[in-house]
């Protein structure tokens, strides 16, 4: 991140970073560079090692998070590359409630004797610290997916470092607009770019950000060797999405807060989970799984879909997935609140909820 970027607010960084030089007749936006091969003699040489379009996206995300970013072909490619840092039979501490793909990846690695895993209640800071005493890596989410629990990132990070562990924070839900984990003690930040950063439900991509040059070099080497690189079009679309990230997050968060206020008084809703920021809401329905399935099939505007972070409002009952932890309530509907008019969203949702009480 340049020294100039440190003096700018996130909204300004999102709009101004990753631009071509301001010279006459140069494009305002970084073009899509479609090439697999470069003329020999430079630093890149081959398309798996770099691309100007990726670089523009990475510059912008790195400036937003306060580090150096690497783009990947998907969020899971980013997760896998970070977990590859862990030595054989080393311990990884992770939230019991976390992104399903991360938990499945950890379970697979453990089943093959590659790592040991300890799952913890991320809200119990003392328990997390105790579990981290022998860890090589502490994986955190805050808020967690889909339980929306919060972790004490500075305290856990400090304790993990004392124990000699790396700290990774999946910042997909909060985005760098609302939270910058590197400033709170994390060594690495992971994103599913597919979600809020790109923001339009039209691409798969991931990213890792770090302020450690040595870690950056190792991760880039692993990415390039494994070929977990993004498509050029995807990188260009993701960068375009970043330009409006602050506006989309602001609107989604305002909509979410208002929906939380209204949901609390509906008789079909047993519990509303909201960490106080962001656009993700958890709605636990009194009628359990049948109620959740019925609501997600009964709306006109809300889309029943498994992803999140797009401009459109989506939701799903998370326990419909067999791998979801059994500690997640059967009736929990994870809601990704979009940027539509909040009154329209509420009327659509209220109508579906009212159908449960008839």
- Any idea what the CATH number is for the domain that residue 125 is in? 3.40.640.10
**How would you write the pLDDT of the chain (358 residues) with one tens digit per residue?**
555 566 899 999 999 999 999 999 999 999 999 999 999 999 999 999 999 999 999 999 999 999 999 999 999 999 999 999 999 999 999 999 999 999 999 999 999 999 999 999 999 999 999 999 999 999 999 999 999 999 999 999 999 999 999 999 999 999 999 999 999 999 999 999 999 999 999 999 999 999 999 999 999 999 999 999 999 999 999 999 999 999 999 999 999 999 999 999 999 999 999 999 999 999 999 999 999 999 999 999 999 999 999 999 999 999 999 999 999 999 999 999 999 999 999 999 999 999 998 6
Taking the model in full, what pTM does it have? 0.96
The catalytic residue positions are 48, 99, 170, 195
Tokens for 132, please give them: 């981290």
Residues 227 and 258 in one domain: no
Residues 160 and 203 in one domain: yes
Residues 29 and 166 in one domain: yes
Q: Where among 224, 242, 260 does a domain terminate?
A: 242
Rounded CA separation 280/124 (Å): 22
Residue 163, CA distances (Å) to 110, 160, 189, 310 in order:
22, 5, 19, 38
- What range does the domain containing 273 cover? 246-357
Residues 41 and 154 in one domain: yes
SS3 string, 258-316, reads HHHHHHCCCCCEEEEECCCCCCEEEEEECCHHHHHHHHHCCCCCCEECCCCCCCCCEEE
In b/e form, how buried is each residue of 206-222, taking b as 16+ CB within 10 angstroms? Answer: bbbbbbeeebbeebbeb
Structural domains in the chain (count): 2
Residues 48 and 158 in one domain: yes
Tokens for 124, please give them: 């119990």
Q: Where among 219, 242, 265 does a domain terminate?
A: 242
Cβ-contact 316, 296 below 8 angstroms: yes
Residues 173 and 190 in one domain: yes
Cβ-contact 66, 180 below 8 angstroms: yes
Query: Phi and psi (nearest 5°) for 269?
Result: -105, 120
């Amino acid at each position: 991140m340049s020294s100039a970027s440190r003096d700018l607010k996130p909204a300004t960084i999102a709009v101004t970073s990753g631009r071509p030089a301001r010279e006459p007749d140069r494009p305002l936006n970084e073009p899509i560079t479609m090439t697999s091969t470069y003329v020999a003699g430079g630093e890149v040489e081959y398309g798996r090692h770099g691309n100007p379009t990726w670089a523009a996206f990475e510059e912008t995300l790195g400036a937003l998070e306060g580090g150096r970013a690497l783009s990947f072909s998907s969020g899971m490619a980013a997760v896998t590359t970070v977990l590859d840092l862990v030595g054989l039979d080393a311990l990884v501490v992770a939230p019991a409630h976390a992104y399903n793909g991360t938990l499945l990846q950890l379970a697979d690695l453990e089943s093959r004797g590659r790592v040991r895993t300890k799952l913890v209640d991320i809200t119990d800071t003392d328990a997390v610290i105790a579990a981290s005493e022998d860890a090589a890596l502490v994986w955190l989410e805050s808020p967690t997916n889909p339980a929306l629990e919060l972790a004490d990132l500075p305290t856990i990070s400090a304790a993990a470092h004392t124990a000699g562990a790396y700290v990774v924070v999946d910042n997909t839900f909060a985005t760098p607009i609302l939270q910058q984990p590197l400033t709170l003690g994390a060594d690495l930040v992971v994103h599913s770019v597919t979600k809020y950063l790109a923001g339009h439900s039209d691409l798969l991509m991931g990213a890792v950000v770090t302020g450690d040059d040595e870690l950056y070099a190792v991760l880039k080497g692993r990415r390039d060797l494994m070929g977990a690189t993004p498509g050029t079009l995807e990188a260009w679309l993701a960068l375009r999405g970043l330009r409006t990230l602050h506006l989309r997050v602001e609107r989604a968060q305002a909509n979410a807060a208002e929906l939380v206020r209204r949901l609390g008084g509906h008789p079909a809703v047993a519990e509303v989970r909201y960490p106080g920021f962001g656009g993700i809401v958890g709605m636990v329905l009194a009628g359990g799984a049948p109620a959740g399935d019925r609501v997600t099939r009964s709306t006109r505007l809300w889309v029943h879909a498994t992803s999140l972070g797009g401009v459109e409002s989506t939701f799903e009952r998370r326990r419909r997935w067999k791998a979801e932890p059994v500690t997640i309530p059967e009736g929990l509907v994870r809601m990704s609140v979009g940027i539509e008019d909040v009154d329209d969203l509420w009327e659509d949702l209220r109508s579906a909820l009212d159908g449960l009480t008839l």
